[in-house]
Amino acid sequence: NAGVTQTPKFQVLKTGQSMTLQCAQDMNHEYMSWYRQDPGMGLRLIHYSVGAGITDQGEVPNGYNVSRSTTEDFPLRLLSAAPSQTSVYFCASRRQQYYGYTFGSGTRLTVV
Amino acid sequence: AQKITQTQPGMFVQEKEAVTLDCTYDTSDPSYGLFWYKQPSSGEMIFLIYQGSYDQQNATEGRYSLNFQKARKSANLVISASQLGDSAMYFCAMRDNYGQNFVFGPGTRLSVLP
């Protein structure tokens, strides 16, 4: 049972480049979310999904897009990378709305 | 809006002693859930313990217990008999009544001294 798988683990982008962070879970969880972690600020919600075909914005959605075409996958797209998007990104999933999250191992992104 | 406050940026504890990590929350929801996660230096997020707002008893999981004081809106994590492997960041988190909103506090870095 792989849980939540994130790729890549590390990435360096130049300002203005775009890329997609991949996230897949094999637990048949309904809820999936993307968080970013910055020093001293905990984890802040970027986007979340309550099921295939349904997504919504979180606290810090600007500059990011998501889609959820299947239950398993929830990719995060950076449209035009900016240095302010340098962060550690976590994908997480949970079975239903009242459960806690299972996290992926994170992606450390640096934008230069 | 929901908010989680963790007032201790860093804590030190001697090995084998107990330590309490503070967490206060703000919500107007009648029903909510409180979580604690551990993040070791390797970076992964590990679920530790959960407390529902209507649970009558404080949650316990091995050496972890949650001191839940609903009237004070606090949900402190107590780690008994600290071990060197407990050195990590600890995050308090809360989900709202409908489970849509799931927010984290800024975290407390715990260092266990030999």
Contacts of B50 in chain A (CB under 8 A): 100
Q: What is the DSSP letter of A46?
A: E
Pairing of the two strands B74-79 and B60-61 = unpaired
For residue A30, give both structure tokens.
């309904």
Task: Identify the pLDDT of residue B75.
Answer: 97
Tell me which residue has tokens 């997020």. B45
User: For residues A103 and B103, what is the distance between their CA atoms, to the nearest angstrom?
Assistant: 14
- Say whether B99 and A102 touch across the interface (CB within 8 A): no
Q: Give the rounded distance of the alpha carbon of B63 from its chain centre.
A: 13
Whole-angstrom CA distances from A75 to A3, A64, B89, B105 are 16, 10, 27, 25
Residue A26 binned pLDDT confidence (cut-offs 50, 70, 90):
very high
Does B44 have pLDDT greater than 70?
yes
Does A1 have pLDDT greater than 70?
no
What is the nearest CA distance from B11 to chain A, expressed in angstroms? 15
For residue B94, give both structure tokens.
């809360």
Contacts of A40 in chain B (CB under 8 A): 9, 106
Residue B2 binned pLDDT confidence (cut-offs 50, 70, 90):
confident
- Say whether A92 and B45 touch across the interface (CB within 8 A): yes
| Closest C-alpha to A79, from A10, A11, A21 | A21
Does B17 have pLDDT greater than 80?
yes
Which residue, among A5, A37, A41, A45, would best test binding to B if mutated, counting the most B CBs under 10 Å from its CB?
A37
For residue B40, give both structure tokens.
């070791």
Contacts of B43 in chain A (CB under 8 A): 88, 105-106
Q: What is the DSSP letter of A27?
A: S
Task: Identify the pLDDT of residue B29.
Answer: 87
Does A40 have pLDDT greater than 80?
no
Instruction: Determine the average pLDDT of the residues in A54-75.
Output: 96
Contact B44, A90 (CB under 8 A): no
Residue in chain A lying closest to B4 (CA):
A42
Q: Give the rounded distance of the alpha carbon of A111 from its chain centre.
A: 16
Instruction: Determine the average pLDDT of the residues in A25-32.
Output: 94
HSE at residue B22, side-chain half, CA atoms within 13 A, is 10
Task: Identify the pLDDT of residue A16.
Answer: 97
Question: Counting Cβ atoms within 10 Å, is residue A40 exposed (0-12), middle (13-18) or buried (19+)?
Answer: exposed
Please tell me the total number of residues recorded for chain B in this structure.
Answer: 114
Whole-angstrom CA distances from B38 to A70, A76, B108 are 30, 24, 10
User: For residues A90 and A111, what is the distance between their CA atoms, to the nearest angstrom?
Assistant: 17
